[in-house]
Structure 1
Amino acid sequence: MTAKSQGLRLNTLGVLLVAACFLTAYATAWMWSSSTNGWRDHLTRSYVAGVSLYDSLRTRADPPVGVDISPLSQVAQTQVMQGDFWQLPNMPQPAFVTNVSIKGQGHDPVSGESLALIIVSDSLQYNVSELISNGRQSAAQKLGNVTQLLATYCSEPILFARMGAQDWKRIDGQDVWGCHTAPTDLRLAAILLALVALAVFTTLVRDTSAHFERFARTLRNHRRLGGPQRYPVQGPEELRDIVQAVNQYLGRERDQIAKRATVLSGVSHDLGTPATRLRLRAALVQDAELREKFEADIDSMTGMIESVLTYTRAELNEEAPRELSLTSLVEALVDDYQDTGQPVTLAALETPSFQGGGSVFMSNAGRGSLPSEQRILVSARPISLKRAISNLIENALKYGRKAKVELVATAEHATLTVEDEGSGMTAAEIEAAVAPFTRGDNTQAIDGYGLGLTIVATVAEQHGGTLYFEAGTAGMRACLKIQRH
């Protein structure tokens, strides 16, 4: 299976998601609606059975379907009157008893006959006071409310009823309001299905979006700290096509830069022999002034080629990054310049302090400081970074006579600033000189090839940072900002 066949196109994925959402919504609505309708029909049947049961008790007519009315023996009559329900056959244990007295409207002498009702349940007592206190309802409707209430709970109640002065009768209506007759309630399952579907769809959408976000983030940091030679082809098919195109572009770019470096290396090597011959022949020139000009031109030619080769190697980004102490690197560089008598100084690192917390022994919070020998650790390419810092110091010495180096850091970034004593150029003019082979107005007085700041900017970009300039207290400040991790 190829890499391209492992993903779906976004439009196909979108259609599938819409269809899945529709089917899930339909299934959820059907489960909810069928359960609601089933319970409504179940409660309606129980209510109608209760209304019909009242008429059956009053007129001794046949009970409604599913309800059985049985007369009690004299012994059972006594036991019911005394409340000894546990002595009756087929009674639930334990027994929870609910006593109900139902009387119809006073203006109806028939429905005004009192109905005594005893509900014996194995699990609960029923709150029927509100159901039978409505004076606008008939007694039959009130009994219907009671049987509807019995059907609401999953229980197996046994009823004992006596209409007026009649004998007690046992009523068994499990086939109407019993637990086994209740419809399957799928409403909780519908809610769970909706939640699970929402979680699955959200995860799928976020995962698809995350593929694009991860690729954009890694591509944005491609040149920083040795980006991958190729990016993994994964995610939707559109993203796979983009990644493959980017991989092809990066491969061609690397090949072009490698060929350029190979050509420049060959040219530098080939020019070494004629340059040596030119130096030997220039030494034979009797005119000292003319001999110096020859030698200066030779140095300029070989120096320019070496500078271009250095810039190309910086673009190749071949050096592997490692963790190093930026503080030690800067201190070593400054010491090297000072050993040769160069006016380069390093500003003392500030020792950060922090506010401490209070305690039960002190009313004021204390203060503390980090050790003075703290080191700023970064993940960087030491050779490239050393070259960039050296270029900034060399520029400050060339154009501003002195170089003051300062190093500050936060948890995310480290910033190295090199301030000169005044080069006569503004920040905008210096930023314009970052372009390759661009130099300032004083090119006649100062040697250079216009690639120093270009190399620094390239190194800064490879380390996830930037090169910028600002006005300092004495002159211009070049700021090299890089990421620490």
Structure 2
Amino acid sequence: MISRSQGFRLQSLGLFLVFACFATAYGTAWLWSASSNGWRDHLTRSYVTGVSLYDSLRTRADPPVNVDIQTLSQTNQDLVSQREFLQLPGVPKPAFVTHVSLKGQGHDPVSGETLALVIVSDSLRYNVSELVSNERQSAAQKLGRVTQLLATYCSEPILYARMGAQDWKHVDGRAVWGCDAAPTDYRLLAVLLAIVSMTIFTTLVRDTSAHFERFARTLRNHRRLGGPQRYPVQGPEELRDIVQAVNQYLGRERDQIAKRATVLSGVSHDLGTPATRLRLRAALVQDAELREKFEADIDSMTGMIESVLTYTRAELNEEAPRELSLTSLVEALVDDYQDTGQPVTLAALETPSFQGGGSVFMSNAGRGTLPSEQRILVSARPISLKRAITNLIENALKYGRKAKVELVASADHATITVEDEGSGMTAAEIEAAVAPFTRGDNTQTIEGYGLGLTIVATVAEQHGGALSFEAGTAGMRACIKIQRH
């Protein structure tokens, strides 16, 4: 079935991916840079405000912009002195209290004054010990570092400060270092944008590549059992053009094979009448030796035509596949030969075993076997497969005197092996004889037309497998390996 979905050109997809990658990279970098610069400015502004706040507390000057300083009432002064911070108005309950003591160093002109600072927060306790222990910084710089730390986290801290012997003051700088004052951070969005874009681009590339991979896989198996007669036209425009060309080629190939089969069928049919007349006339020949030669030539002629016709029909692959028991098929073939007294035997089927897992009751893993009556099921063309196995058995009987058939299987493949008692040919010589009309040097006195192994190899390929040869214990082994799924 041909897909009607419109395809796209790989060139267009490549240009789109290039521009999309560039736009995504630019957008991600801009979001990251804008967020980093915004946070850097926010932290710098908080630091400068903290430095200015120290001077305002020390000299009672006007507070920095967006910072409010209010002196606590006498009642609240007493509560702070008694460290009853949770009793102060506006303090969250429960709360985390952080005490900070800032004192100027020797180079500070006001080194005698100490700034006591209390930070009350409902969400965290600030780690300011490392910030205020640097002896090379002034007290103003240390307070700047503290307010910078407050701006680092999204919280709403309440500050109480006292410079030297002055009164406690409530400092409200949430407009500078509070959560609402923090810039919007797009860095997580930039990371998500990069991940989503990479996922989309990777999916596009993998999906486009998958079209080619699927087509290549099905094209390799186009002669395999159940393979498509025509491939769906889908995917990029370049692939659609290739698929259409392959479909046209396969159509012409099937037409040529069908025409060849039709011609051979016609020739076989047309030769039937003159062959019959030749047999009748040969029967009138008085010379027995000459009559036998005539009849042998007629049999050879008709047998060769039938062999070619059989091979051509095998190439057409017209038989519908169905599920069958390969075990029963092989056993029936061997029984037929044994019923006629032929030296054909079937090796005992191996009973597969498996190893189980351990349990709380047993330290060792258990082992088990499948039932001996298990059957090897395959999806195959029974007539074609039966013809292939028969050809191997016939070859073993003609050239090797005996035939021993063996059937083994795995989860993916089944292998039928036919071993003879030695034909005098090597595996390489027999593999060379798979070509059509090719026979070995030791087969001149044996009837045949050189198409038996060719038909076997064709049937094996149509079932997703192959025909191979190897040395056995007694003679040569011919192996048909077919795919089970």
Q: TM-score range by the shorter chain?
A: over 0.9
Q: How far did 1:297 drift?
A: 1.8
> 1:306 aligns to what?
306
Q: How far did 1:362 drift?
A: 6.0
Q: How far did 1:160 drift?
A: 1.7
Q: How far did 1:352 drift?
A: 3.1
**Structure 1 residues 168-187: aligned runs within 5 Å:** 168-187=168-187
**Structure 1 residues 44-63: aligned runs within 5 Å:** 44-63=44-63
Distance 2:362 2:246 in 1: 62
Render the CA deviation track for 1:22-50: whole Å, top value 9, x for unaligned. 11111111111111111111011001001
> 1:344 aligns to what?
344
Distance 2:333 2:3 in 1: 49
Distance 1:362 1:161 in 2: 73
- 1:361–1:181 Cα change, 3 Å: closer
- 1:227–1:361 Cα change, 3 Å: closer
Distance 1:355 1:64 in 2: 80
**Structure 1 residues 197-276: aligned runs within 5 Å:** 197-276=197-276
SS state at 1:180 partner: coil
Distance 2:180 2:364 in 1: 72
Q: How far did 1:477 drift?
A: 1.9
SS state at 1:423 partner: coil
Q: Structure 1 residue 331 and structure 2 residue 331: aligned?
A: yes
Render the CA deviation track for 1:420-473: whole Å, top value 9, x for unaligned. 222222222221111111122245421111111100010111111111222223
Q: Structure 1 residue 13 and structure 2 residue 13: aligned?
A: yes
Q: Is the 8 A contact 1:344 1:402 kept in 2?
A: yes
Distance 1:454 1:347 in 2: 26
SS state at 2:404 partner: strand
Q: Is the 8 A contact 2:408 2:414 kept in 1?
A: yes
> 1:322 aligns to what?
322
Q: Is the 8 A contact 2:222 2:229 kept in 1?
A: no
> 1:139 aligns to what?
139
> 1:26 aligns to what?
26
> 1:383 aligns to what?
383
Q: How many residues align?
A: 484
Q: Which amino acid aligns with 1:159?
A: L
> 2:122 aligns to what?
122
Structure 1, unpaired ranges of 5+: none
Q: Is the 8 A contact 2:5 2:234 kept in 1?
A: no
Q: How far did 1:367 drift?
A: 4.5
TM-score (norm 1): 0.94
Q: Which amino acid aligns with 2:43?
A: L
Distance 2:35 2:358 in 1: 62
Q: Is the 8 A contact 1:58 1:163 kept in 2?
A: yes
Q: Is the 8 A contact 1:377 1:484 kept in 2?
A: yes
Q: How far did 1:65 drift?
A: 0.9
Q: Structure 1 residue 392 and structure 2 residue 396: aligned?
A: no
Q: Which amino acid aligns with 2:104?
A: G
Q: How far did 1:287 drift?
A: 2.4
TM-score (norm 2): 0.94
Q: Is the 8 A contact 1:4 1:237 kept in 2?
A: no
> 1:456 aligns to what?
456
> 2:166 aligns to what?
166
Q: Is the 8 A contact 1:47 1:148 kept in 2?
A: yes
Q: Structure 1 residue 283 and structure 2 residue 283: aligned?
A: yes
Distance 2:159 2:360 in 1: 70
- 1:350–1:122 Cα change, 3 Å: closer
- 1:214–1:339 Cα change, 3 Å: same
Q: Is the 8 A contact 1:322 1:380 kept in 2?
A: yes
SS state at 2:441 partner: coil
> 1:102 aligns to what?
102
**Structure 1 residues 423-442: aligned runs within 5 Å:** 423-442=423-442
Distance 1:162 1:355 in 2: 79
Q: Which amino acid aligns with 1:163?
A: M
- 1:361–1:115 Cα change, 3 Å: closer
Distance 2:100 2:361 in 1: 70
Render the CA deviation track for 1:199-233: whole Å, top value 9, x for unaligned. 11122211111111111111111111131111111
SS state at 1:181 partner: coil
- 1:343–1:95 Cα change, 3 Å: closer
SS state at 1:8 partner: coil
Q: Which amino acid aligns with 2:457?
A: A
- Greater Cα shift, 373-382 or 243-252: 373-382
> 1:408 aligns to what?
408
> 1:476 aligns to what?
476
Q: Which amino acid aligns with 2:401?
A: R
Q: How far did 1:88 drift?
A: 4.4
Q: How far did 1:413 drift?
A: 1.9
Distance 2:331 2:292 in 1: 37
RMSD value, Cα: 2.1
SS state at 1:43 partner: helix
- Greater Cα shift, 390-399 or 420-429: 420-429
- Greater Cα shift, 64-73 or 330-339: 64-73
Structure 2, unpaired ranges of 5+: none
Q: How far did 1:84 drift?
A: 4.4
Q: Which amino acid aligns with 1:264?
A: L
Distance 1:229 1:268 in 2: 28
Distance 1:3 1:470 in 2: 46
> 2:157 aligns to what?
157
